[in-house]
Structure 1
Amino acid sequence: MAGFNKVVNTYEEAMSGLTDNMTVIAGGFGLCGIPENLIKEIESKGIKGLTLVSNNCGVDDFGLGLLLPKRQIKKIIASYVGENAEFERQMMSGELDVELTPQGTLAEKMRAGGAGIPAFYTATGVGTLVAAGKDQRQFNGRDYILEEAITGDFAIIKAWKADKFGNLVYRKTARNFNPLAATAGKITVVEVEEIVEPGELDPDEIHTPGIYVNRVIQGTFEKRIEQRTICTTTGE
């Protein structure tokens, strides 16, 4: 990797510098748009004591759920438990420090962190456990609570395409938390399905500018479906 070229060739190089007790922000929603191979690299490194920020924690045997059995996650800031039984078990037993955060608030925490905004007021969570211990003020007759922004030592992202300068395009709903998370990491690592030469991406279609991206790697993906419901009908 030299100059403006952000491309790296191995996952070991992509996650170089990640150590115990760091904060990692991960893009994705359920199993959609998750940086699955970067997560596998974290698992294989055996990194522990992580504070993880993500909408959820994958499922038991895939995505961020891979980091739970070996207790690699110390704390998780997430919106919901989802389909992960081990996440639920560790949370209920007190083995895992869990900070459940309203989904929109979590997204705004990432956006604010990336924008250099230290905190913001929101009406979401007023009058609930979410508001406990937080500063509360009234604006135009409505109550708001203060939420602090989030930044991470690393942000791990999944995009559809990138050019070698790190400009990113996401595909459909895989866009979810990825653009927000990409801005909030001190080191942002992106895995993509395709890497093209600079100038090949239409500037109007770029979702994340390369200025936010430090490393890009091309991978192959399983793209597992979290839940699938099949409806069959028969005619007479």
Structure 2
Amino acid sequence: MIDKRVDSIEAALIDVRDGASVMISGFGGAGTPANLMRGLDACGAKDLTVIVNSLRFLEGQAPGLFAEKRVKKAVCTAARGRGKTPSDYELQWQAGELDIDMCPQGTFAERIRAGGAGIPAFYTPTAAGVELGKGKELRLFDGRPCVLETSLRADFAIMRGAEADRFGNVRFRGNQANFGMAMAPAADVAIVEVQAFSETPLAPEDIDLPGVYVQRIVLAPDTGEIRG
């Protein structure tokens, strides 16, 4: 019998090892898998590659990742810290200890979607001729310059949902749907923390993320997240 439920955050993240790559859903503080983020912080894995919209909110939920220099590379759309004092990850980037791959938000989403669809790379006019496009292959399409962007895949993807059944079918609420539906197919292991388990299969019209893309689901309390 298929049952993708696990008993704890620790069990959900049990095989996250040194050198792993992890996609983390959420738009700023909205729809973030806060319990899994804290679990990632607690698991002790290092030399991580994180793929996340905003580094600031990751640092807020999992401060040890940067305070203990356990992230070697970050792919993100926003890397500005909070306030005037530089964050740990800003200081590490300035010192050459952290590799940051910054990309426009639409490109970020498409790189993930392409990874899940088996597309190795694509051209986009976004970032052509500006700082973010420097060093990337450039081609003209109908006279318009476009840069080559590579797709993104990861060992793990973590996200938050409202409800799931034992088959791994997930229903999102509000901003929980932001990057999760693209990240799950782009990861070898997709893990979803949910607010409720459904003892009966979710109705097809209620499913936002099909269970075929989900490997583990774990019950986690409401974190007071922004829903939008």
- TM exceeding 0.5: yes
Q: Which residue of 2 aligns with 1:195?
A: 197
CA deviation digits over 1:144-163, x for unaligned, max 9?
Answer: 11111000011111111111
Matches within 5 A, 1:140-159: 140-159=142-161
Counterpart-to-counterpart distance in 2, 1:91 and 1:12: 30
> In 1, are the aligned partners of 2:31 and 2:225 still within 8 Å (CA)?
no
1:25 is matched with 23
Q: Corresponding residue for 2:79? A: 81
Which runs of no fewer than 5 residues in structure 2 stay unpaired? none
Change (3 A) 1:220 1:92: same
Residue 215 to residue 83, structure 1, CA distance change in 2 (3 Å): same
Q: Which amino acid is 2:194 matched to?
A: V
The Cα shift of 1:134 comes to: 1.9
Once the two structures are TM-superposed, the CA of residue 113 in structure 1 deviates from its matched residue by 0.5
Cα distance in 1 between the residues matched to 2:211 and 2:11: 18
> How far apart in 1 are the matches of 2:5 and 2:56?
27
How big is each residue's C-alpha offset from its partner over 1:69-94, in whole Å with a ceiling of 9 and x where there is no partner? 11111110000024443333333333
Name the counterpart of 1:16.
Answer: 14
Normalising by structure 1, what TM-score?
Answer: 0.87
**100 and 65 in structure 1: CA distance in 2 versus 1, 3 angstrom threshold:** farther
Counterpart of 2:54 in structure 1 is: 56
Q: TM-score, normalised by structure 2?
A: 0.90
Q: Is 2:5 the counterpart of 1:7? A: yes
Unaligned runs of 5+ in 1: 226-236
What's the offset of the Cα at 1:97? 1.3
Root-mean-square deviation (Å): 1.8
Give the counterpart letter for 1:90 in structure 2.
Answer: Q
- CA displacement at 1:47 relative to structure 2: 0.6
User: After the TM superposition, which of the residue ranges 69-78 and 125-134 deviates more from structure 2?
Assistant: 125-134
The answer as to whether partners of 2:113 and 2:182 remain within 8 angstroms in 1 is: yes
- CA deviation after TM superposition for structure 1 residue 16, in Å: 1.8
Structure ID, larger Rg? 1
Question: Residues of 1 paired with 2:31 and 2:56: CA distance?
Answer: 11
Q: Distance in 1 between matches of 2:190 and 2:165?
A: 15
* Letter of the structure 2 residue corresponding to residue 164 of structure 1: R
For the 8 Å contact 2:164–2:170, the answer to whether it is kept is yes
Aligned to 2:174, which of 165, 172, 175?
172
What's the CA shift for 1:25? 0.7
